[in-house]
Structure 1
């Protein structure tokens, strides 16, 4: 059974759009200018800035106007309640599964937040498994997380594909596994 490993954020779901929606709602709720969304998104850097650092920056910027607990709540959800799965992505996974591929989501992040995205979008019904960095104790591009993905569905990494939105995490992860496996990658 061939293995297809697919990234979650900004590959299967538009994480940045979901986070932007959550931030926009946050700004409205706290009577802050809508223009602040650009600043928050820049600090967030597509989810690559540590949540603690984003919280410190937001708490400093909005001191006296927003309780720290509200910032923490926003960052704790991370836009998970705003993600959607496009028909195109869902159909592609369905076709891959129907063609005999073992489809596994491989994502960095917190187990609760990433799991919420998987269940909210119905991805849990479209893939054969998923691995989340916090749960397995390894982050992309570390090859260990890809080995965990293969193990999760009893598949081999030989001839596998990795599809992802990050050159650093996904494509570098594929490269770290080595060319001897015949592994291929696609950068979305």
Structure 2
């Protein structure tokens, strides 16, 4: 169940929480495979795409290792560096605003401080935030490249709480990563909410205070 506590701030992860990274990544690699020459047979095309998405592991796979594998195995005309650069440039174009997410943030905004804490490149993450249309609905954004600390480090959560002027008990963190998001926020004392994405929460981490299948479940936090 979502907390009944005196929540004053809601902090979100970005990828696969506020925006559908998985669909954007699928679009990017679908386009790349369609541009391949010679074209892949249909069955090989789908198998290759599914293998790439599985190897990406929702973005949790080490980026250098992933793009080295992808270039070597699937796109031999690309170097890993070229593929990673092209991905960073084009991925934001594959992101579409989610009307339900935007409506939720609009309804929450008058009642809570809203923030994002995300790991990654500042340029790429900010481009994705803008592409998703949530930049005008979020009060603060913390990106690991800019802060010098990355989830699950307590420091990035502490920076956010200090700037927002709330205690950990007055903050709810919503994210999809069991370690970076849930463990990271719980270790500093925040309430936590896990986006399931059709998964079972792994037993090696402290459980979130609540689990939801989609952001729409947060509608109950609107007074």
Superposition pairs of residues 5-154 of structure 1, within 5 angstroms: 5-31=11-37, 32-33=39-40, 34-35=45-46, 36-62=48-74, 65-68=76-79, 70-77=82-89, 79-99=91-111, 101-154=112-165
Shift in CA distance, 132/116, structure 1 to aligned 2, threshold 3 Å: same
- Pair 1:177 & 2:184 matched: no
Contact map agreement 2:28 2:87 (CA 8 A) in 1: no
Q: How far off its partner does 1:10 sit?
A: 0.4
Greater helix fraction, Structure 1 or Structure 2? 1
Give unmatched runs, 5+ long, in structure 2: 1-6, 196-223
C-alpha distance in 2 between matches for 1:47 and 1:79: 12
Root-mean-square deviation (CA, aligned residues, Å) is: 1.9
> Per the alignment, in what secondary structure is the counterpart of residue 135 of structure 2?
helix
State TM-score, norm by structure 2: 0.75
Stretches of 4+ aligned residues off by more than 6 angstroms: none
CA contact (8 A) 2:8 2:113 kept: yes
Length-normalised TM-score, structure 1: 0.87
Query: Any conservation in 2 of the 1:55–1:71 contact (CA below 8 Å)?
Result: yes
Matched residue of 1:4: which SS? strand
**Unaligned 5+ residue runs, structure 1?**
none
